[in-house]
Amino acid sequence: MSIFIKNIMAVNADGIQKGADILIEGERIVEMGTGLVRDADRVIDGTGLVAFPGFLELHCHLRDPGLVYKEDIMTGTRAAAAGGYTAVCCMPNTKPVTDSAEIVRYIIEKAEKSGYAEVLPVAAITRGMRGEELTDFAGLLKAGAVAFSDDGMPVAEDKMILAAMERAKELRVPLMLHEEDLAKRGNGVVHDGENARQAGIAGIPRAVEETMTARDIFYAEKLEAPIHICHVSTAGSVELVRRAKANGVPVTCETGPHYFSITDEKILDRDPNAKVNPPLRETGDMLAVREGIADGTIDVIATDHAPHNEEEKAQEIEKAPFGMIGFETAFPLTVTNLLDTGVIGLTDIARLLSKRPHELLKTAGGELKKNGPADIAICDMNEKFVYNKDMIVSKAKNSPFLGMELKGRVCYTIRKGKFTYDRQAD
């Protein structure tokens, strides 16, 4: 199949090409220029639209195997494609935990058969994510894992995190760390602040996240071992990473759209969809996260798409599970809260959602160019819409952004030269 995209604004991390024509044949971009006239099976008029390199999700939960009542590989990747993603890394807190070559292969094979995006499995750091014994990193890598994480759980023991860092350094593979001190969290549910007190909900202090972030930066520096910090949510964590980078510590990090878009005010009405770990913080934290994105302290925007079903989320906020879906709102939230507010420019979107994630994983892609992979997100930067339940592609509906007006929308997603999302056709 061939696709010809005419007269589009092509945006890469390192520059913008206006009035670009892109010819796709098979799985590649075979020509990219201006003023081209070409025949193709499908022609897209890109006038008024923007093309980004397909987004790469560094952190999501597809719930497959074992928790497929929440989401599965087919529905999850379909939602990812609707968000402009062409590849997603899925976290190992599945059932059973993704800690064996067999499960890694199951995920990859199922994604190849039924997926709308490439699925890159993140394997567990410790067996069963129990924090007691390292998994077989080499064997898991060979099976196709791209990184290691016990996401959902911290690696609590110092000797375990040290062993994991040494192994990941040796194998040159990313170690993605969920920073949380469970003893300090206790029975906390939302950010520990004025809003939690007003709503009468137990709080999670910033220190729950920051002390573990500090510990792991300390060890990464000592061992000269690269680490990646997941879902940074506080001003203090941003500052810890900023200083570490300035000191030459090999640390990278991500944040989620919810941390730069909303605050813990959202929990005042006890909405379980606003319950997420780490929790939504205060305005000062939200602004610090934006600043960290603007100055490059924060490398990547990762959604932490965490689907839960409606019954689970219909419980009291104390009982409902942590997490919110994110694939379909990441781009509009980035446009609405980072681009339109002047925090970042257009090329930064390509950097934060595609180029940097590809660099961290050392995967090919993240750039629109001749002979490069035909992985493309075609977006309308100006379209406004009210996000509602009916438009959600994911199996799960747990979003705190329902009912909000957002700007910026994905129109088409192309992966390996094929449409994985076409809003007009849906």
Mention every residue, 6+ apart, whose C-beta is less than 8 A from residue 215.
158, 161
Cβ of 144: how many Cβ atoms within 10 Å? 16
DSSP secondary-structure letter at 124?
P
Tell me which of 151, 282, 328, 348 binds Zn ion, using CB under 5 A: 151
Is 375 annotated among the ligand-binding residues?
A: no
Catalytic positions = 304
136 is in an annotated binding site: no
Quote the least distance from Cβ 277 to ligand NCD, whole Å.
4
Residue closer to ligand NCD, measured from CB, 107 or 306: 306
Indicate the residue among 19 and 321 with the shorter CB distance to ligand NCD: 321
Question: What distance in Å separates the CA atoms of residue 249 and residue 252, rounded to the nearest whole number?
Answer: 9
Q: Phi, psi at residue 285, to the nearest 5°?
A: -70, -45
Are residues 67 and 409 in contact, defined by beta-carbon separation less than 8 angstroms? no
**Of 231 and 351, which has the nearer Cβ to Zn ion?**
231
Annotated binding-site residue? 271: no
Residues in CB range of 302: below 8 A, 6 or more apart? 57, 58, 59, 60, 230, 231, 254, 255, 256, 357
305 is in an annotated binding site: no
Q: State the nearest-atom distance from the C-beta of 323 to ligand NCD, in Å.
A: 3
Minimum CB–partner distance for residue 325 and Zn ion (Å): 12
By the rule CB under 5 A, 216 interacts with Zn ion:
no
323 binds, among ligand NCD, Zn ion, none (CB under 5 to 8 A by kind): ligand NCD
The Cα angle at residue 182 between residues 91 and 198, in degrees rounded to 5: 105
Residue the block writes with tokens 């939602």:
79
Return the number of the residue (52 or 401) whose C-beta is nearest ligand NCD: 401
Q: Is 4 annotated as a binding residue?
A: no
Among 178, 185, 258, 305, binds Zn ion (CB under 5 A): 178
Q: For the chain, first and last CA: distance in Å?
A: 20
- In the complex, minimum distance from the CB of residue 178 to ligand NCD, in angstroms, rounded to a whole number: 5
Was 304 annotated as part of a binding site? yes
Distant-in-sequence, close-in-space partners of 283: CB < 8 Å, separation ≥ 6: 263
CB of 318 to ligand NCD, least distance (A): 14
Q: Return the SS3 of 62.
A: coil
| Binding interface with ligand NCD (CB under 6 A) | 61, 93, 151-152, 178, 276-277, 304, 306, 322-323
Instruction: Return the residue nearest Zn ion (CB atom).
Output: 178
Interaction residues for Zn ion, span 294-333 (CB under 5 A): 304
Cβ-based nearer residue to ligand NCD, 276 or 379: 276
Pairing of strands 251-255, 227-229: parallel
Cβ-based neighbours of 218, under 8 Å, separated by 6 or more: none
* Residues that bind Zn ion in the complex, under the rule CB under 5 A: 151, 178, 304
Q: Which residues fall in the annotated binding site for Zn(2+)?
A: 59, 61, 151, 178, 231, 304
